[in-house]
Amino acid sequence: MADADHAPAFWTSVATVFKADPGVIFDLYNEPHDISWSCWRDGCMTSGGWQAAGMQSLVNAVRSTGATQPIMVSGLNWAGDLSAWNTWVPNDPQKQLIADLHLYNFSQFNTQASWDQSVAPTAALFPIVAGEIGETDCAHGFIDSLMNWFDGKGISYMGWTWDAAGGWSCTNGPSLISDYSGTPTGFGVGYRDHLAALAGGTAATTTSTSRPVSTTTTAPSSTTTTMPTSTTTTPSSTGVGKAIVRYRVVNAWPGGLQASIDITNTGTSSIGSVSAPWSLKFQLPSGVTMSSLWNADWTTSLAGSSQSIVATGPSWHRSIAPGETWSVGYVLQGSAIPTSCSLNSATCVFTIG
């Protein structure tokens, strides 16, 4: 685990430099291991006689600079264990935490039954990015089943690794490529073809083509579709112009769902500005609770028996340019389509699906 003497100061320094960069996500510590969950979050004196910094102190260090970007927080056991992540998750005033997961065929949790037990509960409440996935048998059977399971849960993933030097291979690393022209290893073939199939909207198949693709993906997941309704907001004097506000379910499970509200600016002027960021308001019925929201600053309050949500442009994306779509994602405990939509005080109607 990171050391308390230097790690918080390091993250204060890094976050200060990059806090205005919308392309940055802070990943606090790679693959913590051989510590307890209590130490992971709150720090402890290690067996080596030095003080470990907990993830909470590192989150605090980043947020103390005013940085509001998402923060990735790895699980235990070389980032392969999220079994108690929900219990020990650090507090983030921005509510922008991502659980970081690394899974291989040799990991502690390497079967679907173990993912259902140790990963699915976190996926139900928080975004997950599997920062590393792979297998060391020069094949792709393991990652095929893993990626399919991830797709169904709305979990993003990245293959490890794009490196053909220094002894890296499909058994050591493992490497996705055998040379820097992008020739895939057996493991790389499966990863590449799965991404190609997702991009084409077809089922994954294994092919012999050597065309390289990116090693990073945000995986689409199952979608619940309802018949669409009206597609435009009502213009007002607040500078909203024209916009489409689309609601869609990204993933659903018994007792909850992950959804996205996509705001598309169809007008000729920006929605929001640096001094007056865009603001989306909507309501959820009694008994439905929002557990996390990302890509916006947000507040919640009670409006009678309903929960009122206000999502505003974060520091790195105060305005939505003409032709641009900005997506606000969130997780609910319960299931409900939002109502009472307004964008910068102008009434809007959700497009569903």
Residue range 173-195: average pLDDT? 92
User: Which range among 2-16, 269-283, 313-327 shows the weakest confidence by mean pLDDT?
Assistant: 313-327
Instruction: Please state, in angstroms and rounded to a whole number, the distance separating the CA atoms of residues 154 and 124.
Output: 9
Q: What is the per-residue pLDDT for 197?
A: 87
When pLDDT is cut at 50, 70 and 90, the band that residue 98 belongs to is very high
Residue 37 · residue 87 · CB < 8 Å: yes
Residue range 297-313: average pLDDT? 86
Q: Which is more confidently placed, 257 or 310? A: 310
Q: What is the per-residue pLDDT for 251?
A: 78
Summarised one tens digit per residue, pLDDT across range 8-25 is 999 999 999 999 998 899
Summarised one tens digit per residue, pLDDT across range 26-57 is 999 999 999 999 999 999 998 889 999 999 99
Neighbours of 130 (CB within 10 A): 24
Instruction: Please state, in angstroms and rounded to a whole number, the distance separating the CA atoms of residues 30 and 78.
Output: 8
Residue range 167-180: average pLDDT? 89
Q: What is the per-residue pLDDT for 12?
A: 97
Q: If DSSP codes are grouped into helix, strand and coil, which group holds residue 77?
A: helix
Give me the architecture of the 7-217 domain, per CATH.
Alpha-Beta Barrel (3.20)
Q: What is the per-residue pLDDT for 68?
A: 94
Q: Is the pLDDT of residue 325 over 50?
A: yes
Q: What is the per-residue pLDDT for 252?
A: 77
Name the residue ranges covered by the structural domains of the chain: 7-217, 243-352
For residue 227, what is the DSSP state?
Answer: -
Q: What is the per-residue pLDDT for 177?
A: 94
Q: Is the pLDDT of residue 130 over 50?
A: yes
Q: If DSSP codes are grouped into helix, strand and coil, which group holds residue 282?
A: strand
Smallest CA-to-CA distance from 103 within 27, 57, 156 is with 156
Q: Is the pLDDT of residue 2 over 70?
A: yes
Tell how strand 243-253 and strand 350-352 pair up.
parallel
Domains 7-217 and 243-352 share a fold: no
Average pLDDT of the chain is 84
Summarised one tens digit per residue, pLDDT across range 208-248 is 322 233 333 333 333 333 333 333 433 333 344 588 999 98
When pLDDT is cut at 50, 70 and 90, the band that residue 334 belongs to is confident
DSSP calls for 272-307: S-SSS--EEEEEE-TT-EEEEEESSEEEEEEETTEE
Please state, for a pLDDT cut of 70, what percent of the chain lies above it. Answer: 88
Class of domain 243-352: mainly beta
Residue range 55-62: average pLDDT? 97
